[in-house]
Chains A and B, each alone.
Chain A
């Protein structure tokens, strides 16, 4: 564990005053770049003896961009949602010991003042195990990582025999965090037992589930942890080469991992005779051109080989993988867990989680909640803890209706089942999957049939077309949903959708098709009434499905700007400039363009 000196060095830096600014994709998008420049400017202009320090992100996205000020003798204080014009003021006040405006402090030294992290809801239900360094260290500094105990795990592993390394992971009970929850040790053991002079280990950083970005966050904020895990995996199975697979949509993640690989090579954690052992191993970062199915392991291998499309399993990659050689594929978070287990010991890891699934997992909570972000909690934590306690529940005036878990292969869990514990088995029995751990919260402004349609068109577009059930079956499902959301379907169609979904799931080649019907099956299971409403009353209760709503002008808001009349393609809107406009329902084709065009929000769906 971290010694006090190391901790102090990380917290306050060598000058005793460190100002941390998160530089990662999401914080940059929220304006962290300007914040960073402004902090540097203020520090220079006022001669503040502080080190402006780039770090990764904590995952508390709702407060982006944030900064943290930490001076020896004062509690490190986090300021959320900072604007550039506040920075001068924040630095001045903090330096004078006035912390009153901070969102939270890392720990308290006295009473009063802003709450400590362990007291606030968005932190205290978390167990920061793999994400411990996120937002604390400079992701581009290997020395920061080493200071926190980094590469100690590798050192310990290299003192053991390969079987012993596998045994450690077996006792930990670690299961893959990439979706299926397959026992990590078993995959390793199979690959280890293959007699072959060339073996590969691959880190799956494809992360194609929309709504999931914990892998990106982890790799951008603490890339060495992922790399260390990969090297340990390589040692355990006897591989000579590792590949980190990252998609083109996430360039900063690839850059940081590449930098980590270079630095590790310089310090002898990669290359020949690693740490004076007789283990030789090197790693390459592979930038994928992006396709959802590439996250699936056989498709991922095909991509690296320059082909596309998955293939039938078995044989599994552990025996016949990349270029036909034994290959282990593990998820980013799985590997970060491996490194942490070796650094801190199995006991620390098994403290959390359930009997069947040990440890913690990072979850992304997005959609209709107050505090979107990435939260690391023990496996088996209730859905409601994530959605309500950590993420703060629904947005003002709205009601949470369901949570979509596991991306396009997952399902929707209704609000009544929020007591459900998040582990692989429970979720599966309720029609969802843990997947990569993305939770998209759906509220009463979303239509469940539309949600099903969205996912169906997603997987249809991503289906590689190799097998018939997925290619043709999903097309039919998509057409059916189109009819349902247009009010042109019959009750019988709902039954057909159910049957068709079940048979696609049974007969597809890879897990993409096998899980593609999940969104429709799970919405049918819990929200059948919404489907029926679309058919019988031709009504969309959430007023989402364009063909089933009417548009009308709110006379109180309309200023007669004529925008709506001008965009209307069929001339259904009439009115003179400066007067309230009117929609002729006999002509209106419900395209919704007027609603988008209106600058005053005067057009409403009814």
Chain B
């Protein structure tokens, strides 16, 4: 679904005409916009606010409330490390730190300089039996992988593998 250089305003127009000017569909409209841009560009939010006649602060309120929405551009692959209870107790923090470090992330950054990988914490994926778990999504939503029983070592391998994959 990812479509190169698009004008956020045009895209919003298309999406809104599909769902109708219904503020009750705000979440779905944002979901659809994110599918196109992989995140929610600021202009798109402004456009949504105008089109639906909802204040920008209300749109931002919804966009920041749900985990799914991202306000910053992301890498080609997003590595979500589960911080659910089962994963946390089985060592998710160490795995997360190892992944961040080998991806070269520091100072609160979550996307690598080369724009290939994003590393984030996530909530339970319901695969707790395989704790600790990471889910990797391609940012266009077309690929999805789950990795279980991770160790810091396996986390480092994950970064290496997805970085190579992203370069392909």
Residues of A within 8 A of B (CB): 25-26, 28-30, 61-62, 64, 207-213, 216-217, 248-251, 287-292, 303-309, 364, 366-368, 372-373, 404, 407-408, 438, 440, 442, 446, 451, 454-455, 464, 567, 592-593, 595-597, 599
Contacts and interface: CB of A to CB of B under 8 A. Distances in A.
Given A210-B123, A216-B126, A373-B129, A367 B68 contact: no
B65 A366 contact: no
B41 interface: no
A249 B125 contact: yes
A29 B88 contact: no
A324 to B, nearest CB: 13
A62 B148 CA distance: 12
> Closest 3 A-B residue pairs measured CB to CB?
A210-B84, A61-B129, A213-B126
Contact of B94 (A29, A305, A596): A596
Contacts of A292: 123
The binding surface of chain A is classed by DSSP as mixed
B24 A309 contact: no
Contacts, number: 140
B30 interface: yes
B130 A289 contact: no
B123 A290 contact: yes
A440 B25 contact: no
8 contacts: A25-B146, A29-B148, A210-B123, A251-B144, A290-B68, A291-B66, A368-B89, A596-B152
B133 A372 contact: no
Given A207-B126, A249-B123, A289 B68 contact: yes
Contacts of A595: 94
Nearest to A294: B66
A595 to B, nearest CB: 8
B11 interface: no
B156 to A, nearest CB: 9
Contact of B126 (A250, A290, A596): A250
A593 B128 contact: no
B146 A28 contact: yes
A464 B22 CA distance: 24
A26 B124 contact: no
A400 B27 CA distance: 43
A367 B127 contact: no
Contacts of B123: 208, 210, 249, 290, 292
Given A29-B146, A306-B62, A454-B88, A210 B94 contact: no
B27 to A, nearest CB: 5
A61 B62 CA distance: 36
Contact of A30 (B30, B62, B90, B130): B130
Nearest to B98: A596
B165 interface: no
B126 A25 contact: yes
B13 to A, nearest CB: 19
Contact of A290 (B67, B89, B97, B144): B67
Nearest to A445: B89
A367 B85 contact: yes
A210 B124 contact: yes
B62 A210 contact: no
Interface string B126-162: 1111110100000000001011100011000000000
Given A25-B125, A212-B126, A291-B65, 7 more contacts: A217-B126, A249-B125, A306-B26, A440-B89, A454-B88, A567-B101, A596-B152
A457 to B, nearest CB: 9
Contacts of B83: 210
Contacts of B128: 210-211, 213, 364, 366, 372, 438, 440
Contact of B148 (A30, A208, A307, A364): A30
A305 B58 CA distance: 13
Nearest to B88: A454
Contacts of B30: 289
A543 B67 CA distance: 32
Contacts of A373: 129
Contacts of A209: 124
B31 A287 contact: yes
A438 B85 CA distance: 10
Nearest to B131: A366
A149 B146 CA distance: 35
Given A61-B129, A306-B27, A596-B152, A367 B66 contact: no
B101 A289 contact: no
B85 to A, nearest CB: 4
A408 B85 CA distance: 9
A388 B61 CA distance: 46
B65 A309 contact: yes
Contacts of B94: 592, 595-596
B129 A211 contact: no
Contacts of A368: 89-90
Nearest to B94: A596
B101 A303 contact: no
B62 A308 contact: yes
B97 A593 contact: yes
Contacts of A372: 86, 128-129
Interface in B17-72: 22-27, 30-31, 61-62, 65-69
A337 B122 CA distance: 31
Contacts of A567: 101
B101 A597 contact: yes
Contacts of B88: 454
Interface in B84-131: 84-90, 94, 97-98, 101, 122-131
Contacts of B89: 367-368, 440, 442, 446, 451
B68 A26 contact: no
Contact of B127 (A213, A251, A289, A309): A213
Contacts of A599: 153
A205 to B, nearest CB: 11
A209 B34 CA distance: 26
Nearest to A304: B24
Question: Which among B66, B86, B101, B125 has the highest number of chain A CB atoms within 10 Å?
Answer: B86
B27 A249 contact: no
A200 to B, nearest CB: 13
Nearest to B153: A599
Nearest to B97: A596
A289 B69 contact: yes
A289 B68 CA distance: 5
Contacts of B22: 306
A451 B88 CA distance: 9
Given A209-B124, A210-B86, A211-B124, A289 B148 contact: no
B129 A366 contact: yes
B126 A249 contact: yes
A208 B27 CA distance: 18
Contacts of B66: 288-291, 308
A592 B152 CA distance: 12
Contacts of B69: 289
Given A29-B127, A306-B26, A567-B101, A440 B65 contact: no
B27 A303 contact: yes
